[in-house]
Each structure stands twice: as C-alpha cells, then as structure tokens.
Chain A
Amino acid sequence: MSSRETLFGIPAPDWADPAMQRRMRRRHGGTHRLRWLGIAAITGAIGLLLLLLVSIFSIGYSAFTQTVVTIDAPVAAEFIDADDITESNWNRMARAAIATLFPDDAAGVRDPDYREVLSRGGYNVIRNTLRDRVIANPELVGETLRITVQTADPFDQLAKGLVRRDTPEDRRRVNNRQIAFYDMLVEEGRIERRLNFWLLTNTDNRFPEMAGLAGALRGSAFALMVCFLISFPMGIATAVYLEEFAPKNWATDLIEVNINNLAAVPSIVFGLLGLAVFLNFFGLPRSAPLVGGMVLALMTLPTIIIATRAALKAVPPSIREGALGIGASPVQVMTHHVLPLAMPGILTGTIIGLAQALGETAPLLLIGMNTFITDVPEDVFSKSTALPTQIYIWFDSPERGFVSRTAAAIMVLLGFLLFMNAAAIFLRARLERRW
C-alpha cells in the first residue's frame, strides 16, 4: 500500500494507487463541470439580455430619425388683413403653402391624396410658424418663408423602406398617386431625414410623427423628485432609529419583519393604496406627479431603509465607541461619524431604489398617469404622464408609427436607468472612505 510509514496508525493517502487516481480524476472532473455549467449559465443570461436589447433596438432605432419636407411658403398679401395683421387668414395661407408642393394634377388645395403626405399636426406647425413670424416681422409680406415639417407617418415609413412599394396598392397604406407625389418631392430635393429631436422636445400627440416624450420626461422627473424628497429623509430616519436607538423588543422585531415584507409587496398594491388613500380620501389630483411620487415613495422606502441599515451596520463599532468615549452624544456620534461613513452605501441604495421607481408602471396606471396629455407639466400638481406609462400608452396606440416610438421610448428609459446606475457607481467610488 503506502510507501510512507504510517504515523500513530493513521493511514497516509497513497497517491500512486490507481483507485486514488481515479478518485482524483473524478474530483477534478467535478470542478471542471461546475465551471462549464457556470460559464454556460452566464452566457445564456447575457444572450437573453442581448436578444432583448437587439430586438428593442432593431425596432426602435428608426424612430430616432424623422422624414421632413421643406416648404417655400409664400406670404401672399391676399391673405393679410391690412387693418389688423393679427386677424389675417393664417389657415388659408397655410393651405396655400402646402398646395405649392402639389403637382399640376392636384384637385385644388384640398386634394385628398396629396394633403395626406404632410403630417396633419404639421399643418398646425406651418400655420403657427407663418403667423408668429409674420406678426413679428410684417416686412415678410410678399416674401417666401422656408418651413420644415414632418411628413405623415406612412411617408416616413416609405422613406425608411418600411412601407414596400412592391406591395399591391390596395394593401398598401399609400397609393400610387401619393408615391408619385413623394418621388417628385424627393427629386425636388425637398425630402430629408433629420435626427428626431422632437422625440425629446415634443409632447404627446395623436400623430406619431409629432409625438415626443417631453411631458413624460418632466413628469417622471417630478415624480422621482417627490419620491426622493419623501423616501430619502424618511428612510434614513427610520433606519437610524431602528438600528441605533430603538429598543430591541417584539414591537421593533415586528416592524422589521414588516419592512422586509413591504419590499416584496407587488407594486400594483401600492397603486391601489394610492388610489384609495391619496386620491379618494385626501382628494389629491388625479394623474399628478405628486401622487405618483408619493406612491413610488411607498415602494422605495423599504429599499432605502434596508440599504441604510446595512450601511449603518457596516460602520465599525470602534468608531462609535471612540466618539462616545470623548463625550459625543449619541446624536453627535450619528451625525458626525456614522452617517458620513454610511453615506456611500445609503446613496447607492437610494439610487437603486429610485431607478426601480423610474421603471415602475402599474401603480402609476392606477392613479391615472396614463392619460393623453399634450402639455408639459408645469408643477407636481399638473396632469402628466411618466416614461413607463407613456410607453404603455404608445404601445396601446393603433398607429403603425407608434411601434418604433414605443421601442425608442424604452431605449430612452433604459438610457436613464443606465445613467442612474452609473451615477450610483460614481458616487460610491467618490464618497468611499479614502483612508
């Protein structure tokens, strides 16, 4: 058996023994298999994530450009009211401007085929641009004004190759006459693809080519601000009290268990609570970022409390003893020493909580933040949507153009989440105790 002498009668392993070698191979094989399983699992997870991102991106990227038409709009004297320029017939001026684009066979300024090429929302843009610029500068009468407006969604899709010309006409959303018109505009150099800044600067609109996220972005920002202002101080105060000052008894145990449970409550329940308490009982306004923020704060609170308690626990007790030992009061120990040391952890937890809140949809649906609203909210009391509810609204819209916009809005949301997580990492690195 063993080449070595046995000590005290304890058998020494015989590494040369074939049975031992088989066992060793099996053991190494186990390590090996575990590693490959791990790699396979990670690859699978990353693969699924990539698939998700690729599918969103491939649908959404086209919404980041928008097809536009440039019009040379004549400011004809016939539409101008000589007595009061503000009373001029801007509607007719706009229709005439659009008609300058039409080919000769057009049935007047109201040609049903041709007028569909421009966004119907774009008609308002032309009228308002003409009105504002001419009133500001009456010298323009008799000149022409260069105005750029979005094409209607079907022509945006045609430009992007999403509407195919080889589809039979009766199954196509644009007819042959319209395509001929469109091609003519291309030839005249009036058609362009622009970066779609409107996606961020416009508010919601019935016409996808005009719709943007400005209202939803502001609404989300307001809701997050309210959420932060409520949950951050309350979360820290709760955690500090529970961790440092509360007596350890069944009551605080119960509170602790319930806070942990609260973190696992489905978000829609918080929405119901918000509806019942904030809207119906306290009579706060529907669809307001204030209420949205309050509901989100309920969800974020447990996250912040748990993160803060973990961060407080991680501060070495020797620091507390040192401060107490020279006569600092418990509150001074807290504010001068423990909280500053715990702050990186607290902030990381807070940002992660806020990032969760940013993506939360269900509770906002219940308090009516999924309403069609074409204004940017002025304050936290204004009616508003938020990013996730805007995505929901667009997803629910029948117009084809909203398909890519939904995906694009998701990308914007993901971008903000990425930004917030990066901020959490940055803050953590910056505030981390450097000595």
Chain B
Amino acid sequence: MLDRVKEKMDDRKKVQMDHPTGRVETSAGTKIQSRKVNMWYDQTQALFDVSLDIPDRTVTALIGPSGCGKSTFLRALNRMNDTIPGTRLTGQIVLDGVDIYKGDLDPVQLRAQVGMVFQKPNPFPKSIYDNIAYGPRIHGLATSKSVLDGIVETSLQKAGLWDEVKDRLTEPGTGLSGGQQQRLVIARAIAVSPEVILMDEPASALDPIATGRIEELIHELRENYCIVIVTHSMQQAARVSQRTAFFHLGKLIEVGDTADIFTNPKEQKTQDYISGRFG
C-alpha cells in the first residue's frame, strides 16, 4: 500500500509543467534559474539583477545580513510576493524550463509544486491528520480514504514525525511543540508532492535540539527534492547546504560550493561577512 503511494508521489514528480509560452533552455541539472531579477516593494527596490542557478537534489543556502533580500528572493521563487500589493518583478525565473512569471502560468499550481516552510511554524488550527490531508484533498490527489491515509503516513514519515504523532492524529496540530510543528508543516508541504521546498529560516524559532532534528531532516530530504534555505546562521549553512549564495543590499555577491564560500571566498564582502566583520 505504502509503496504504491510512494510510487505515485514519485510519478507525479516526473510530470513537468506543460506550458505553451515561456519555454526556456537551461543547463542540465539546473532546477531553477534566475536571470537579472529586479524586484520592488512599491518604490523601494529590494533585489538588483539577481542571476542564480539552483541545482536539483541539492540544498542551496541563501545567507547575508538582515534586510538584504534573502526572503524576498525566496518568495519570488513561488510567486508568494504576488500576494503583497505593490510588488513588481522584472527579469526571468525559470523552473524546469518554464518561465514562471510568463503568460498564463497559474501561481496556484506553481505553489503546490514549490512548497514553502516559514520562519514561524504555521500549522492550521485543525487536527494533525487534517493538516497533512488538506493539500491532497484540494488537489484531488487521493481517490479514497485509504490512499489519503497512505499519503498522510508517508508524508509524516518523510518529515520524521510519524512515530511521535501516529497515536494522536486527531489532536490539534497547534498542540505540538515548536519543532514538531515545523516538521508538521514540512510534512504538509511534502504531501502535495512538491519538487522544490523553500525554507525561510525554518529553525530560527527553535531550540538547539529541535534545530538539529530539522537539519537532519533537510539532509534526508535533499535526496528527493531541490531545497532552498534562508538562514542567518553560517554554521547552519555550512552544516546543511552544498551550495551557498551570499546576498548583500539586494545584490547577489557570490555563489559557489558551500565549502569554497566558507574557506575561500572570492569577494571581499563575503570574506568580511563570514569572518563576522559585519552583519
């Protein structure tokens, strides 16, 4: 049973967004490609010419001082910024060869494909089960109750939460501890078979032990998903990511393999930030 659900979820992953307009060639292994992305909140420009390739099945960390535009860039990747009035974006963001800001792309579909985990855990005020089942339900992923049960179980297992909650699925999700809630919302994202998971400082509201569990989880999820994580902790970036992008004042200063960025940065600004001279 469970295997079938897993297969089904993997199958869905292979389905590409089929789209007449805005097809763009990207290099092999690139999941998301941004080119000259500029973004404004009303009159204030928050991103300047950001061009960044994000590889699949990799954890990419976005680091940089507060207010440098990390969250803004992350939220541009699933068009979450659309919900803020007065935002404007130029440039190109390509997911699987499709420009997500072009033409008739449906942001609702995009957001199911590009899941998001926020800084503060935000489970719905519903039961643990319903928290996970909500996404599959609205997308019609489950044909029967048993399939839905399977999706819920698999998602919770993938998020490393199943053993802790399997006996209390009907209890409110908001009754869990902060770390459990964060894993619950990760499971909630997994349940709609995303290809990309965006995480905006997912551990900053958690204690060190819960943080450790989330980091382990990110490590495991890398095998199946493209993960982009914003973090203000350089240690965390070093621990969980393979690629690191350093932002400063809305500009992408440097991007490279995490090991290189931390040991051998090319830019002076990166060097200064990493050695704690500002930020």
Contacts and interface: CB of A to CB of B under 8 A. Distances in A.
B116 interface: yes
Interface stretch (A45-53, A66-74, A322-330, A381-389): A322-330
A327 B188 CA distance: 11
B85 A336 contact: no
Contacts of A316: 122
Contacts of B120: 318
Contacts of B113: 327
Interface stretch (B23-31, B132-140, B211-219, B243-251): B132-140
Contact of A321 (B118, B123, B125, B189): B118
In this complex, which of B118, B134, B189 has the most chain A Cβ atoms within 10 angstroms of its Cβ? Answer: B134
Give the size category of A's interface with B: 20 to 34
B122 A321 contact: yes
A324 B174 contact: no
Contacts of B118: 318, 321-322, 325
Given A322-B118, A332-B138, A435-B174, A327 B192 contact: yes
A341 B125 contact: yes
A180 interface: no
A253 B223 CA distance: 50
B124 A324 contact: no
Contacts of B172: 434-435
A321 to B, nearest CB: 6
A42 B108 CA distance: 54
A229 interface: no
A246 B123 CA distance: 27
A248 interface: yes
A319 B117 CA distance: 12
B90 interface: no
Interface residues of B, number: 31
A108 B174 CA distance: 85
Given A248-B85, A332-B138, A435-B172, A326 B122 contact: no
B107 to A, nearest CB: 9
A326 B115 contact: yes
Nearest to B113: A327
Given A318-B122, A332-B138, A325 B108 contact: no
B111 A327 contact: yes
Contacts of A172: none
Contacts of B117: 325
A194 interface: no
B5 interface: no
B108 A326 contact: no
A435 B191 CA distance: 23
A120 interface: no
7 contacts: A318-B118, A321-B116, A325-B78, A325-B116, A326-B134, A326-B135, A435-B125
Interface of A: 247-248, 316, 318-329, 332, 336-337, 341, 433-435
What 7 A-B pairs have minimum CB-CB distances, sorted nearest first?
A327-B112, A435-B172, A318-B122, A325-B116, A326-B135, A322-B122, A327-B111
Given A322-B188, A324-B111, A435-B172, 11 more contacts: A316-B122, A322-B123, A323-B124, A324-B83, A325-B118, A327-B108, A327-B135, A328-B108, A332-B138, A434-B172, A435-B125
